[in-house]
Amino acid sequence: MKKIIFALFITLISISLFPARIFAQAIDPQYIFVRKAPDICLPSDCSMLWNMAIPNRSFTEGIDEIVTKVGSLGTNQRKLGVGVLFYYNRQTYDFNTMQQSLRNLLSTAQTKNIPLFIALDGFQWWDGRPDLYNNPSNVEWTCNSNLCAVSKAWRNWGSEFEVSPHPNLASRTFIEDSKTRLKILLPIIVSWYQKLPANKKWLLGGISLGVETDIGGNYYYYKNGTSTGKGLTDSTQLGYAAVNTLGLPGGITSSNLNEIIRRYSNELDKLAYDTGIPRSKIFNHIGGIDISPNPAPSGLVFPTTDGAISTYANPGWSFYGSVTGNPQNFSGLTTTLNKVNNAQWASPEWNTYAGDYQSYVSALKGSLNFRNNRFINISNWEEIRDKPYKLTALKAVLSDSSSCWVSSPSILSVTVSGANATLTWQKGTNNDAVYLIVSSVGEFNTAGVLASAYLVNESVTNKNSYTINNLTTGTYYWELVADGCNSTSLQRKIVDDRFVIGAAPTPTKASTATPKPSPTYVPKSTNTPYPTQKPALQGDIASSRGATPDGHVDSYDVNFLVSNFGKTGSVGFSPADINRDGKVNIFDYSIVVENFGK
C-alpha cells in the first residue's frame, strides 16, 4: 500500500516538567450551532442580549432558552451548540470586561454541557481604534496610492449603514495589533480547554479569528465617498493597499485577493495553534463570490472560496440562500474542497431563505451531509427563536443521523521514557483505514498535512500503539489520520498531539541546610539586584508600579505577562516566568488566568 500523508495538531507535553497526559475523545460530533448576536434583542426584551462588554453578563438564561425552545441537545453524533462573537476592536466594548465575559461564558458552557463556536474578530468592527484607521497605511485604497485611502465604508445587513474604513489586511501594524489582543484572549480559551476532562473536549466545537474576512464584499466604498443607496453595485474596487503592501504582481485579481486573505488568516491561525488550540478546532471564515446568492457587480473583482484554504486552519464559508440546500451545485466550492482531500470544512455563518418546515429541513441536511462538514452556525438565534417551523426542523435534524459519520481516533496516552516514546490510541467510528505520521517539523500543507521530515508514515489500521526508539532531544509532532465512509462520501478525520524528548532534571540529595533565597532578577534599568521571591499569590507579578506585586491578580499582571510573552532566559530571568522554566509562555499565562480576580 502506498504511504499516505496527512495533517496534524498537537498539545505540548514536556516529560521534564509534566507527567504524560491521558486523552479520550469518545464523543466527536458534528455540530449545529445557533449564533447569539451581540447587538440584537427583541424590542420588549434585552435581558438575554449577549453583549460581551456588559460586566458580569450571565449566559445561563440564554443557553436555557435555546435548549428549551429547540427541545433537544442532539445526539453523540450531532450536537446542538451556541455560536458567539467577540469583537475586540469595537468602540463600545471594554476589553477587560470582554475577557471576563469570555471566562464566564466558558465556565457556563461547561456547566450546561453546551458546545461553543467562538469567533474572535478584529476585522468587521474596529470603530474603537481610530489610532489605527486614521493611518492611510492601515486602510484600503481605491487606487495604487495612499492618496486614495478610504475614510469610511458601508455595509448592508438588511439595510445600509456606515462603518469604519475597510482595513488593509496586509498592514503589519494592523496584524500585529490584532495579535496583541489575541495573545490575551486565546490563552483564556486554551487554559479552559486543557482543563476539560478528556470526555468533554468536544465542548470546544471550534474557533475562528475573523468574521467573513473579505475584501470589498459587504464592506464596500462608494466611488465619490457618498452613499447613493445602491450598495455594492455602485461601489468601487478595493484591495490596492494590500496588493501594494505585499508587492503582489498582476494587480487586482481574484487570485491576489485570495492570497491576501490567506496570508492574513494563516498568520492569526498559526498564533492560535502555537498558543495551544488544536488545528482541528481552527476554522477560517470568509465569503467567496462563487457561492454568493447575488452575482458579482460588473467591473469589480472579489475573492473566491479558495481564499479560505490555509495551512493552520480548516476552510469555512458563509452560506446564504440556495447554496445551503445544494452546495454540490457550486463548482467553485467543489474545486476548493478537492484541495483539502476530504478533510473537514464548515459554514461559520449559515442562513437559508426556506419558508416552511420541509424546505428548512432540506437546507439543513443539504449542508450537513455535503462532503465532510463539521458544523453549520445558524445566523442568528434571535431570527429563529420565535419561528416554530424552524425550531421543529432543527430538532428533527439534530435527532437524525447522517448516512455515515467518521469520528476521530481517541488518543489515549503519550508516554515518554528517555529517548523513547510510546503512543497509544483507540479507533473511532467507521475508521476503515488509520495512518500514523510522526515528524520533527510542525508545519503543514494546505490540506492540513504535516509537510516534511517524516520519522513514521505508515498504516496502523490494525494497531492501537506504536513505540519510537532512539529519538534525539527535541519536539516531535504526530497525527492519526482516519479514512472512512467510502461507500457514501469519503471522510477524513485527523487527531494530533506533540511530545518532547529531553533530559529530566537531575535528582538532588535532600539537604538539612538553611534554604537559600530565590534567585534574583536584575531589571534592565539598574545593576542592583533585588529579591523576587515567589509571591504568595501565583500570578501576582505586577502592578501600576511595574514589576512589583500588589496582592491582586488583575489586568496589570495580564499586560505585564503579554508584554514579555515568548521571551526566554535563565530560570527566574523575569517575574513573568512564573513557573520558572526559563520561558514566558502559555503555562505562565494559564497561572494568571486561573488566579485572575483573586
Domains of the chain: residue spans and CATH: 30-279+366-399 (no CATH), 410-501 (2.60.40.10), 521-598 (1.10.1330.10)
For the chain, percent of residues with pLDDT exceeding 90? 64
Q: What percent of the residues of the chain are helix, what percent strand, and what percent coil, each to the nearest 5?
A: 30, 25, 50
Q: How far apart are the first and last CA of the chain?
A: 58
pLDDT one-digit tens code per residue, 255-314? 999 999 999 999 999 999 999 998 999 999 999 999 988 888 899 999 999 999 999 999
* Summary mean pLDDT of the chain: 86
Query: 380 preceded by cis ω (within 30°)?
Result: yes
Q: Is 372 exposed, middle or buried (0-12, 13-18, 19+ CB in 10 A)?
A: buried
**Which pLDDT score, from 0 to 100, does residue 10 have?**
30
Helices 357-368 & 388-399 angle (0-180, nearest 10): 40
For the chain, percent of residues with pLDDT exceeding 70? 87
- With beta carbons less than 8 A apart as the criterion, state whether 540 and 552 touch: yes
**Which pLDDT score, from 0 to 100, does residue 571 have?**
65
C-alpha 361/C-alpha 62 separation (Å) is 24
Closest CA to 313 of 119, 87, 566, 125: 119
Q: For 586-598, b where at least 16 C-beta lie within 10 A, e where not — what string? A: bbbbbbbbebbee
Greater confidence, 501 or 523? 501
**Which pLDDT score, from 0 to 100, does residue 425 have?**
93
* pTM for this model (two decimals): 0.80
C-alpha 125/C-alpha 320 separation (Å) is 21
pLDDT one-digit tens code per residue, 414-473? 999 999 999 999 999 999 999 999 999 988 888 777 888 889 999 999 999 999 999 999
